[in-house]
Structure 1
Amino acid sequence: MTETETLLQTALDWHRAGRGVAVASVVETWGSAPRPAGSLLVIADDGGMAGSVSGGCVEGAVVVEALEALEDGGARMLDYGVSDDEAFAVGLACGGRIRVRVEPVGSVLPVGALEEMADRAARREPFVRSVALAGGGAEILGMGEGADAVLRRGKSGLSEDGARFDLVHAPPLRLGIIGAVHIAQALVPMARLAGYAPAVVDPRPAFASEERFPETELLDDWPDAALEAYGIDGRTAVVTLTHDPKLDDPGLQAALRSDAFYIGALGSTRTHAKRVARLQAAGFTNAQIGRIHAPVGLDIGAATPGEIAVAVLAEMTQALRRG
């Protein structure tokens, strides 16, 4: 479970147990803060709390405000200037500013909205809760519901005009790699550093081994079946690296039928032309086939497995952030 999912469920469980509950959200903060915008702190009317909004320097003050909000049923917008000493105590080089919105469950944050967010999070469904700071009105939106640009950005925070606070829940990015080859060995650790949970698909046990890919999810089925079980969503990238149509083509076909935000295939322009012909013969349209990035990766002159992995990860990032 993600931290956001855990805290939303905690707030819901506490409410269902009869406790008064408020949810505090970081709306705005300084650039190097230990807790980014969107961080949550759940406070119960008996003083219990879960989560964090600042790493410790303003939690006590937020809890006091939350308990008062639970008494009067109103929202709070809190603004703190964090001193250099306080900031240093939680690992920062200098102080800054943090804004926190506190919403009692029931009176401000509807129970139905909390249930919907917890449910969407449990289903790995990305969503945005967009709150109008002036009036307090809010809506919950997912992909295809008007929040695509915010979800692609993947970060909570104020809208450009400062009128709304967008609480973004974006499940961890995933990367399905077809082919347990040398490039995959370089790409897996790089992808982890970029925030992906990679999985390597290869039915050949000599390639997809724990020794070659330690602490990595290994799917030893044929790519189409493996990816179907894996479940490709709009925060999943798929890359084929084997050069072998028997493995790459089933993986590409599964990816093209999905909502994957990025599909890449290793191979030269000539190799890809043959691949296009096979996919056309399989019934895929030119528009569908056009989703494939091939030759895979940004054109930076990459030659070694490590360099090719850099180019692939860079192109995936471009597709994710710039669409």
Structure 2
Amino acid sequence: MQNRETAPEQALRWVQAGEGAALATVIETWGSAPRRVGAQLVVSGSGAMEGSVSGGCVEGAVVIEALEALETGESRLLEYGVSDGDAFAVGLACGGTIRVLVEPIGAGGMPEDMLADLVAARAARKPVAYEAGLKSDARKLVTDGHADRFRTDRSGLSEDGQTFIAIHNPPLRMAIVGGVHIAQHLEGMARAVGFDTFIIDPREAFGSAARFPGAQVINDWPDDALRDLGVDARTALVLLTHDPKLDDPAIHFALGAGPFYIGALGSGRTHAARRARLEEAGFKPDQIDQIHGPVGLDIGASGPAEIAVSIMAEVIQSLRKP
């Protein structure tokens, strides 16, 4: 499924349907907490819920607190210790402690119009940070001042501990040029870890919905397809055709568009030839160095599925440890 719905989007749907909603967000963790800071659970006025703040350990208690927050119109800070025994019961190796901010949508929490603006920013692929005062009703959306947090996709407390900063980046996307066998494995892996996926191949025999049922398939020349798609800093580009006629135009476009990852299939000799062509086309060495070639981590991969694993691992490494 493309464009996965987040907790804010679900919350807005429930609010607009007249049910009301409250957002619960992990704002701090200690030990081996099950979910990372920024994880969210949304609860409707009828008690329906989507998302998770603990992997199942304390969701029931958070739902009760969220329903009470909807009744009182007041936000609240919660703290839970997940014991080793409770953690084991839900399949975790060990426990930890989490702090959770529960906010009703409306008075005393996140204003409805602010929630709508946040959802609209995500739809427009605009990064936005939501700042919530922990000891006040101060709430605002900002697009500047959190460059490191946006780059690393990291929510967290301000230096003085008085404000929680929730980073809402656009959805991750992976554009795969070349509907080859490796792409069939890679596309599924990318979707499994949260990427919206796009297969780009002008050759309809390779790029077809039958071969890639979960992806959006674009039968166009790669540079035109990438231009229409709108490559940005939340996009990974993987080139698998092994054909300069298809790969090179895509690289030319991508080097000026700023994806967080560019990987190109081929041996060391193939990549050396690729570098030479790019230099002849006027690209600087530091630009060309952005390309991961040969593509994927060197794990001794053998066969299309293992090569796809190596590529997916390198994409995640580039995203989380730039």
TM-score range, shorter chain: 0.7 to 0.9
* Residue 10 (structure 1) aligned to one of 5, 9, 13: 13
- For residue 35 of structure 1, report the CA deviation from its aligned partner: 9.9
SS of 2:320's equivalent? helix
Q: Which moved more, 1:278-287 or 1:259-268?
A: 278-287
Cα–Cα, structure 1 residues 100 and 178, in superposed 2: closer, same or farther, change >3 Å?
same
The runs of 5 or more residues in structure 2 that have no matched partner are none
Kept in 2: contact 1:78–1:99 (CA 8 A): yes
SS of 2:60's equivalent? coil
- For residue 303 of structure 1, report the CA deviation from its aligned partner: 4.0
Structure-1 separation of matches of 2:255 and 2:76 = 46
Q: Which moved more, 1:78-87 or 1:189-198?
A: 78-87
Q: Does 1:41 align with 2:42?
A: yes
Q: Does 1:185 align with 2:189?
A: no
Kept in 2: contact 1:22–1:102 (CA 8 A): yes
**Identical residues among aligned pairs (%):** 45
AA at the equivalent of 1:99: R
- The 5 A counterparts of 1:139-178 are 139-142=140-143, 145-154=144-153, 156-158=155-157, 163-178=162-177
Match of 1:300 in 2: 299
**TM-score, normalisation: structure 1:** 0.78
- The 5 A counterparts of 1:1-323 are 2-10=5-13, 13=16, 23-28=23-28, 33=34, 37-41=38-42, 51=50, 55-68=59-72, 70=73, 74-80=74-80, 91=90, 98-103=98-103, 105-110=106-111, 113-134=114-135, 137-142=138-143, 145-154=144-153, 156-158=155-157, 163-323=162-322
AA at the equivalent of 1:207: F
Structure-1 separation of matches of 2:87 and 2:97 = 10
Give the total of aligned pairs.
Answer: 311
Q: Which moved more, 1:244-253 or 1:267-276?
A: 267-276
Structure-2 separation of matches of 1:268 and 1:223 = 21
Kept in 2: contact 1:12–1:115 (CA 8 A): no
Measured against aligned partners, the alpha-carbon deviations of 1:77-109 in whole angstroms (never above 9, x if no partner) come to: 2335678999899x5679875533234534553
Structure-1 separation of matches of 2:64 and 2:133 = 26
Structure-2 separation of matches of 1:291 and 1:42 = 42
The runs of 5 or more residues in structure 1 that have no matched partner are none
- For residue 185 of structure 1, report the CA deviation from its aligned partner: 2.4
- For residue 115 of structure 1, report the CA deviation from its aligned partner: 3.8
Kept in 1: contact 2:7–2:42 (CA 8 A): no
Alpha-carbon RMSD: 3.6
Structure-2 separation of matches of 1:155 and 1:181 = 34
SS of 2:307's equivalent? helix
Structure-2 separation of matches of 1:85 and 1:77 = 24
Kept in 1: contact 2:202–2:220 (CA 8 A): yes
Measured against aligned partners, the alpha-carbon deviations of 1:16-57 in whole angstroms (never above 9, x if no partner) come to: x7x98754434346856589743143566xx67764665434
Cα–Cα, structure 1 residues 161 and 298, in superposed 2: closer, same or farther, change >3 Å?
farther
Kept in 1: contact 2:122–2:171 (CA 8 A): no
Q: Which moved more, 1:48-57 or 1:309-318?
A: 48-57
